[in-house]
Structure 1
Amino acid sequence: MPSPCDPENAPAGDVGAALMMIDSQLKAVYAGRTEIDAEQRRLIDQYTASLTSREFHDLLDGACTLIYMYMRWLRMAYEDHGKDVIEYVVPSLVGTMRNMPKSFPPENIPTMAGLVIAAGTGLSPSLWRKHLGDWPQEEMTSLEGTAVLLAEHINRITDDHDFATRLITGALSRADAD
């Protein structure tokens, strides 16, 4: 029986814009900064403030699509080694979130873990999240951070700081070619 959270029914959103935001966060991390610099944050805030409501929801759906794509890749990678993606990724992600209470308020962690678990079990994080209602403003940073942490996890296990970004840009290029 098909699930109402089947990824085939989910909007992809603006994956390109979401990826640009995630990639800028990753570059800050790899440059040794814990956060992106004030100018970069100002530009991101200015960009998101300029979005219409529809474009903003497309950006949120794009971030959820990134989470789904990253978890799909991680699931295949862990299964190739006889491991369960949920068992290895979720505790690590939640532990990191708990150690960063300014970025990940404790009350947001269950939702963010739910997004990752939904994606790790083959469900659309975006459609799963819609069951909870509209995104509260307080969860925007946590959503972005979840995608960043997953991308960084991929980059760490591949020992390549750009692997997660190339993974998505390659998939976008193949989709455009089709």
Structure 2
Amino acid sequence: MPSPCDPQHAPAGDVSAALMVIDSRLKQIYDGKTETDPGQQAMIDQYIASLGPRGADDLLDGACTLIYMFMQWLRAAYEDHDKDVIEYVVPNLVATMRMMPKSVRPEVIPTMAGLLVAAGTGLSPNLWRKQYGDWTEEELTSLEVTTFLLAEHINRLTDDPDFATRMVTEALSSADED
């Protein structure tokens, strides 16, 4: 029986905008900056504010699509080594989020773990989350952190600081060609 959380029923959202946010965070960290550049943050905040309510929803859906894409890539990579993505990725990301109490409130960590498990088992993270109601303010930063941590995990596995971004960009380009 098909699941109501099947990815084919999920809106992809604004994957490009979500990727832009994550890529800027990755570059910031890789450049050794621990503090967010105020100018860069103002630009991102201004862009997000310009989206309006529908655009913000598209950005959330885009972040969930990135989570799904990253977890599917990780799933295939870990299965190539006879390992389970949920066993190897979720506990590490949860442990990392627990060390980030300013960005990730403890009460939202189970939701982020659920998003990862949903995506890792082939379900749409945004449809899985939607069954529990609207996103809360506390979950928004945590969603960004979760997406960032997945991209960074992929980049570390591949020893390529641009791999996750390039993978999504190439997938978007090939989808545009189809």
Report the alpha carbon displacement of residue 37 of structure 1 after superposing the two structures with TM: 1.1
Q: Does 1:113 align with 2:113?
A: yes
Report the alpha carbon displacement of residue 17 of structure 1 after superposing the two structures with TM: 0.3
Match of 2:67 in 1: 67
Where do residues 15-30 of structure 1 align in structure 2 (5 Å cutoff)? 15-30=15-30
Where do residues 120-139 of structure 1 align in structure 2 (5 Å cutoff)? 120-139=120-139
1:24–1:36 contact (8 Å) kept in structure 2: no
Unaligned segments of structure 2, at least 5 residues: none
Identity, in percent, stands at 72
- Between the two proteins, the alignment pairs up a number of residues equal to 178
Deviations 1:90-117 (A, max 9, x none): 0100000001111111011011111111
> Separation in 2 of the partners of 1:126 and 1:32?
32
Give the TM-score of the pair, scaled to structure 1.
0.98
Q: Does 1:145 align with 2:120?
A: no
Report the alpha carbon displacement of residue 171 of structure 1 after superposing the two structures with TM: 0.2
Task: Name segments (4+ residues, structure 1) moved above 3 Å.
Answer: none
SS in 2 for 1:52: helix
**Structure 1 vs Structure 2 CA RMSD:** 0.7
> Separation in 1 of the partners of 2:47 and 2:25?
15
Report which stretch shifted further, 167-176 or 132-141.
132-141
Unaligned segments of structure 1, at least 5 residues: none
> Separation in 1 of the partners of 2:10 and 2:43?
29
> Separation in 1 of the partners of 2:41 and 2:17?
14
Match of 1:41 in 2: 41
Report which stretch shifted further, 45-54 or 12-21.
45-54
